[in-house]
Amino acid sequence: MLFDRIKGQESAVRILARALESGRMPTTFLFTGPSGCGRMGTALALAASFNCENSALACGSCQSCRLHISNSHPDLVIVRPPEGKRVIVIEQIRTLIERAYLMPLMGTTSTFIVDGAHLMNPNAANALLKTLEEPPATSRFILIAPDRDSVLPTVSSRCRILAFRPLSRSVMEALLEAEGIDKKRAALLASMARGSMARGLEYHREEIPERMAQEFGPLSSLHEAGPSRLLDLAKGWGKNRTEALKITELMAQWYRDILVLSEGAPREQLIHSSHLATLRTLAEELGSASLSMILESIEDAREDLENNTNVELTMDNLLFRLRKFGRTGQGNTLSREGF
Ligand SMILES: [Zn+2]
């Protein structure tokens, strides 16, 4: 059965299976959770279940199921932002609605998956709202978003919300190994990717573990670096937006580790446990209050980068903000000079 292929989401799958078998199926679902944790796979399995030729829970082998899995079933419509865009616009939703009021072409039910419901602009969301209020009898809707609060309350209130958990490290490791990644690397990627298979595979593709080894020096000595060194780093790391987003992701990982350690969590919870001694020193020097502020600054910078600000300037600002904390930072330097 198709649902058996979904790993680490037992609770969500159980709820769906029960609803399918009882025949009491909500018209509209909102699947929430981090990207790459199984939301889309589950949405496809649910859509396939509606039209499966053999059973209430998609068998996975009939023609209808196979077409659903490969996203080529005529009664399956998936809407997401167009290539290179970050927004779902009203025209896309209008097309979806027109289709939703037509009879299914091959099966008994049409399924409409909005992959990125939080990316609908307000016009698009409002247009969809009317259809969700009075859904056509043969249409089902599955909205996918990181969390409930990221979509308009008027939309989420019309959905049955189903929460997906970040994948556990062991599930991630097994899934990454099944992709042909060796055990040691799978374990490292699983610890870095925070419950998202999509992120784990992306890190693998972009060689993030190697990248981390390469940037370890600059990252671990950031708080001792002088202004000219920081400007150099900002220049290197701010070459382009993709590069800057990647490095800020590494930074966030790095400081999250230090924070976790400063709060007394065991070594197993660290991503970069091979750098334990350095992490410990920094945890002692920075303290958890500063670390929270550092992580906030990194998050702000990432948001700015996503919003098309000047890349090098954003990196400059971030690095100089981070420098305020730690050894060469104002606070600590002053107190040390006082002795
Ligand atoms: Zn089937």
Dist. CA 55 → ligand 1 center (Å):
7
Pull the structure tokens for residue 313.
Answer: 């300037």
- Written as one letter, the residue type at 137 is A
What is the rounded CA–CA span in Å between residue 234 and residue 265?
A: 31
Question: Ligand 1 centroid vs 107 CA: distance in angstroms?
Answer: 11
| Tokens linked to 200 | 């784990």
Which numeric CATH code is attached to 206-337? 1.20.272
Segment 71-75 long-range contacts (CB within 8 Å, at least 24 positions apart): 71/44, 73/47, 73/48, 73/106, 73/107, 74/104, 74/105, 74/106, 75/51, 75/104, 75/105, 75/106, 75/107, 75/109, 75/110, 75/111
Amino acid identity at 172:
M
Of residues 197 and 194, more confidence is placed in 197
pLDDT tens figures, 57-72: 999 999 999 999 999 9
The Cα 118–Cα 144 span in angstroms is 8
CA distance 298 to 293: 9
- Is domain 2-163 classified as CATH 3.40.50.300? yes
66 CA distance to ligand 1 middle (Å)? 7
Task: Look over the chain and give the mean of its residue pLDDT values, rounded to a whole number.
Answer: 91
- Residue 104 three-state SS: coil
- Per-residue confidence band for 142, with pLDDT thresholds at 50, 70 and 90: very high
Ligand 1 centre distance from Cα of residue 57 (Å): 8
Residues lining ion ligand 1 (Cβ < 5 A) are 52, 54, 59, 62, 65
Cα 29 to middle of ligand 1, angstroms: 21
Question: pLDDT (tens digit, 9 = 90+) per residue, 13-58?
Answer: 999 999 999 999 999 999 999 999 999 999 999 999 999 999 999 9
Classified as helix, coil or strand, 110 is: strand
CB 297 within 8 A of CB 321: yes
Tell me, in angstroms, the distance from the centre of ligand 1 to residue 62's CA: 4
User: Ligand 1 centre from 98 Cα, in Å?
Assistant: 27
Render pLDDT for 302-316 as a digit per residue (tens, 0 to 9).
999 988 889 999 999
Cα 73 to middle of ligand 1, angstroms: 12
- How many CA atoms, within 13 angstroms, populate the side-chain half-sphere of residue 230? 19
CA of 56 to the centre of ligand 1 (A): 9
- How many A from CA of 41 to the centre of ligand 1? 15
As a whole-number percent, the residues of the chain with pLDDT over 70 amount to 96
Domain coordinates in residue numbering, the chain: 2-163, 206-337
